Amino acid sequence: MKKAEKAEIISAVRDRFAKAKVAVLTDYLGLDVEKLTELRVKLRGVKADYKVIKNTLASKAAEGTPLEGLKEHFIGPVGVAISYDSSLSILKILTEFAKKEDKLKLKAGVVENKIADLKELRALADLPPRDVLLAKFMGSLKSPLYGLAGSLNGIMLKFVYALNSVKEQKAKAG
């Protein structure tokens, strides 16, 4: 490969790395083309890419991007999964695929410009979707208000029952 071609590849990869909101490095040694294609199709469904890049080119392209801290992980056969939106669905797909295909191993990643190790990536992948988290949050905000409304309603009902019993006692007394 000529220097000009390498420079062009580095520039294109650097642009992708710079735009990435979520990027995950994987070890794909032993996966056949069919399985890699299946993974790529799944990732395309969530607007993500999966690229296999030479380590030297990838580490040069990572300079000045959020992936710069992952340079020590560019060892052996490395594939990079990149998502350009802040959705964590890329992590869910990769962890599910890694459970199914033991030859795919997650190494490390970058989530919102912060380096994440394997443990953090798995924890983020286990989070429920954003909509579910927002619904739980809103439910927890509404819960005290419903409790207060129920308590106030109970007090009003007890007051009405007390008045009703006083009325009945006066009616019996004549």
Model confidence over 14-63: pLDDT tens digits? 888 888 888 899 988 888 899 889 999 998 888 888 988 888 888 888 88
Q: pLDDT digits over 60-82, tens only?
A: 888 888 888 888 888 888 899 99
pLDDT at residue 122, rounded to an integer: 82
Q: pLDDT digits over 81-137, tens only?
A: 998 887 788 888 898 898 888 888 888 888 888 888 878 888 888 777 778 878 888
pLDDT at residue 41, rounded to an integer: 92
| Amino acid of residue 105 | K
Residue 51: CB atoms within 10 Å: 14
Q: Is the pLDDT of residue 1 over 80?
A: no
Question: Which tokens belong to 166?
Answer: 């006083």
* One domain, residues 133 and 123: no
* One domain, residues 9 and 87: yes
* One domain, residues 93 and 108: yes
* One domain, residues 92 and 173: no
* One domain, residues 89 and 30: yes
* One domain, residues 16 and 77: yes
Cα 113 to Cα 70: distance, rounded to the nearest angstrom:
11
Number of structural domains (the chain) is 2
CB 94 within 8 A of CB 81: yes
First to last CA, the chain: 109
* One domain, residues 83 and 136: no
Cα 77 to Cα 173: distance, rounded to the nearest angstrom:
95
Return all residues near 127 (Cβ < 8 A) that are at least 6 apart: 88, 133
Cα 20 to Cα 113: distance, rounded to the nearest angstrom:
9
- pTM higher than 0.75 for the full model? no
* One domain, residues 62 and 120: yes
Task: Please provide the DSSP assignment of 29-86 as one string.
Answer: TT--HHHHHHHHHHHHTTTEEEEE--HHHHHHHHTTSGGGGGGGG--SSEEEEEESSS
* One domain, residues 59 and 31: yes
* One domain, residues 157 and 113: no
Check which CATH number belongs to the domain holding 107 and give it.
3.30.70.1730
Closest CA to 39 of 52, 26, 47, 50: 50
* One domain, residues 145 and 59: no
CB 141 within 8 A of CB 66: no
Give the range of the structural domain holding residue 113, as residue numbers without chain letter. Answer: 3-127
